[in-house]
């Protein structure tokens, strides 16, 4: 059986995932996620009109920035993730080779390391944290790229799920900077069905009386809400074929209940409910057409990057048809589907086929000649 690691670094077979999560007093620690660097943003003006005092953006890097500063890949992470989440795609034997590229793994607001409900002092602590947007994330990341590193162009921006939303935002907001864009399993504008789903998993967390409008003492106090939340994800995160074919067995689980407890509940149990809720609000309000008065065609028409739009088959959040409808509005773009029983979670690379298809998409785009 393949050695399977989730994007947070914990084994997803045997007992190690659950044991590791239970052993951590603080999930958002560098012990579990590795060291970060931080860009101090000062008093950061949010798109909501509020100012976030002493804001910070966590990030990681791999590889070396060359003298010309033209070997840069930006890889923002998904909802619920951290900068560590995308490290599984970097390697000397992978298309994202740190010997060739300088890879920036930026955080986002509310991810537990950057400014978040879980780490911000009053008046914006806990349930009082302001709503943040994909645009806020990308503006902060732009400061990291341009002001901190002095980079003018990005060879590739890519991301999965909410990382795909950030990829689209980069390509639309800064079209002259992004040479290639690869949104995996995500859309440029959240669809109504996706919006309803995200709100439902936010409401599952809020349904626990211990949530207390976001002012609980410890994240584990909201364990009932976190379990309800995990149950909703178990329905929508995968697909009927996955469960009918018992694909969880290949990943080392012994029964359906075993999978539900040791995969879904164990994944979410150590996370901060407010962080998940505030990232969820950001997800469901993702919309690049805000740049063009609500005209999605005009917004996507601004993209100059060579773009691969790559959904996952059987994905119920971002079905291929939704992604293809947007791809048809993007100049110089291609559409390809990754086939996987793991549906939206193909990005976890549980199978060699998933990993190979993902690497192929990344490698093919990087080999495309762009001006």
Report d(CA 184, CA 181) in Å as an integer. Answer: 10
Helices 223-236 and 273-284 meet at what angle, rounded to 10?
A: 40
Of the candidates 345, 322, 295, 290, which has an alpha carbon nearest to the alpha carbon of residue 169? Answer: 290
Task: Please report, for the chain, how many H helices and E strands are present, in that order.
Answer: 13, 8
Spatial separation of the C-alpha atoms in residues 216 and 256, rounded to whole Å = 32
**HSE value, Cβ hemisphere, 13 Å, CA-based, for 241:** 10
Of 236, 98, 96, 74, nearest to 166 (Cα)? Answer: 74
Q: Is 118 a catalytic residue?
A: no
Kindly name the residue from 136, 194, 208, 315 that is annotated as catalytic: 315
Known active-site residue 344: yes
160 phi and psi, to 5 degrees? -110, 135
Positive/negative CA dihedral, 28, 31, 35, 40: positive
| Identified catalytic residue from 85, 142, 344, 354 | 344
Q: Is the peptide bond before 253 cis (omega within 30 degrees of 0)?
A: no
Backbone angles phi, psi at 10, to 5 degrees: -95, 145
The residue annotated as part of the active site, out of 83, 85, 161, 340, is 161
Instruction: Please state, in angstroms and rounded to a whole number, the distance separating the CA atoms of residues 315 and 39.
Output: 35
Contacts 24+ apart (CB under 8 A), 24-29: 24/270, 27/112, 27/219, 27/270, 27/271, 27/272, 28/82, 28/112, 28/113, 28/116, 28/118, 28/119, 28/272, 28/275
Pairwise CA distance, residues 307 & 331, whole Å: 8
Angle, helices 223-236 vs 192-206, to 10°: value is 160
Q: Which of 107, 84, 130 is nearest to 281 (CA)?
A: 130
**Residue ranges of the alpha helices (H) in the chain?**
16-23, 30-33, 134-143, 162-173, 192-206, 223-236, 240-244, 256-259, 266-268, 273-284, 296-300, 320-327, 352-367
What is d(CA 370, CA 180) in angstroms, rounded to the nearest whole number? 8
Catalytic center residues: 161, 315, 344
């Amino acid at each position: 059986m393949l050695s399977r690691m989730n994007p947070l670094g914990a084994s997803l077979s045997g007992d190690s995932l659950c044991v590791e999560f239970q052993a951590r007093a603080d999930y958002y620690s560098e012990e579990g996620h590795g060291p970060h660097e931080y860009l101090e943003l000062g008093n950061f003006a949010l798109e909501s009109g509020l100012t976030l005092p002493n804001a910070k953006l966590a990030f990681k890097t791999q590889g070396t920035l060359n003298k010309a500063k033209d070997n840069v890949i930006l890889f923002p992470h998904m909802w619920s993730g951290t900068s560590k989440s995308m490290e599984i795609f970097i390697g000397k034997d992978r298309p994202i080779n740190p010997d060739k590229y300088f890879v920036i793994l930026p955080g986002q607001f509310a991810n537990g390391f950057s400014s978040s409900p879980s780490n911000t002092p009053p008046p914006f602590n806990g349930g009082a944290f302001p709503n943040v947007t994909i645009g806020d994330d990308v503006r902060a990341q732009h400061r990291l790229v341009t002001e901190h590193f002095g980079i003018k162009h990005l060879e590739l921006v890519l991301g999965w799920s909410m990382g795909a939303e950030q990829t689209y935002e980069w390509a639309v907001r800064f079209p002259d900077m992004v040479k290639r864009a690869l949104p995996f399993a995500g859309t440029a504008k959240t669809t109504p069905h996706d919006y309803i789903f995200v709100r439902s998993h936010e409401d599952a967390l809020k349904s626990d009386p211990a949530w207390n409008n976001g002012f609980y003492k410890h994240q584990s106090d909201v364990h009932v809400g976190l379990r309800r939340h995990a149950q909703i994800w178990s329905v929508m995160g995968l697909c009927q074929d996955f469960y009918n074919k018992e694909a969880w067995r290949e990943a080392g689980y012994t029964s359906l209940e075993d999978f539900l407890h040791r995969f879904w509940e164990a994944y979410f149990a150590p996370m901060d409910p407010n962080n998940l809720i505030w990232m969820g609000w950001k997800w469901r309000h993702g919309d690049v057409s805000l740049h063009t008065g609500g005209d999605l065609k005009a917004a996507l028409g601004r993209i100059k990057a060579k773009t691969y739009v790559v959904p996952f088959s059987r994905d119920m959040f971002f079905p291929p048809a939704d992604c293809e409808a947007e791809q048809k509005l993007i100049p110089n773009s291609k559409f390809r589907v990754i086939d996987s029983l793991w549906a939206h979670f193909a990005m976890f690379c549980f199978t060699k086929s998933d990993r190979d298809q993902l690497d192929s998409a990344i490698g093919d785009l990087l080999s495309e000649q762009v001006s």
